[in-house]
Amino acid sequence: MNIVTNPVGPWLLIKPMIKNLDASNTSEFMDQMRERVSHKAKVMVDLSEIDFMDSSGIGILLSCLRLTAESGGQLALCGLTKQVKAVFDLMRLQRMFEIHTDFSAHAKEFQ
């Protein structure tokens, strides 16, 4: 799985370069997130390349949220595509996640 990682100020921007986050790849995604998330990390996951996410994908993002919280860090999401945003809205996941339109808009808040 190709995941692009860029440190930007206090944040680690993680962008999975995949079209689907589903049962076929969530285990690999979580393994790669564990490798990248350090103690007290501030992580922004850019979902702009993901066109489809099933319940396994949602579950793995919730696991990532727990992983960062347990290490004293923070997890936020950005770049939700129309399809992924519809799933988040349907499941009311905006109550669980900090969600931003894109990373650049979020980064301006901290300059």
Higher pLDDT, 29 or 104: 29
User: According to the model, what pLDDT value does residue 40 have?
Assistant: 81
| Structural domains of the chain in order of their starting residue, each with its CATH number | 3-25+36-101 (3.30.750.24)
Average per-residue pLDDT for the chain: 91
Bridge partners of 51, per DSSP, are none
pLDDT of residue 106: 61
pLDDT value at residue 105: 64
Element containing residue 15 per DSSP (H, E) = strand 11-16
Residue 12 has phi, psi (to 5 degrees) of -110, 115
108 has pLDDT over 60: no
pLDDT tens digits, residue range 54-107? 999 999 999 999 999 999 999 999 999 999 999 999 999 999 999 998 877 666
User: Which of these, 31, 32, 1, 20, lies nearest to 58 by C-alpha position?
Assistant: 20
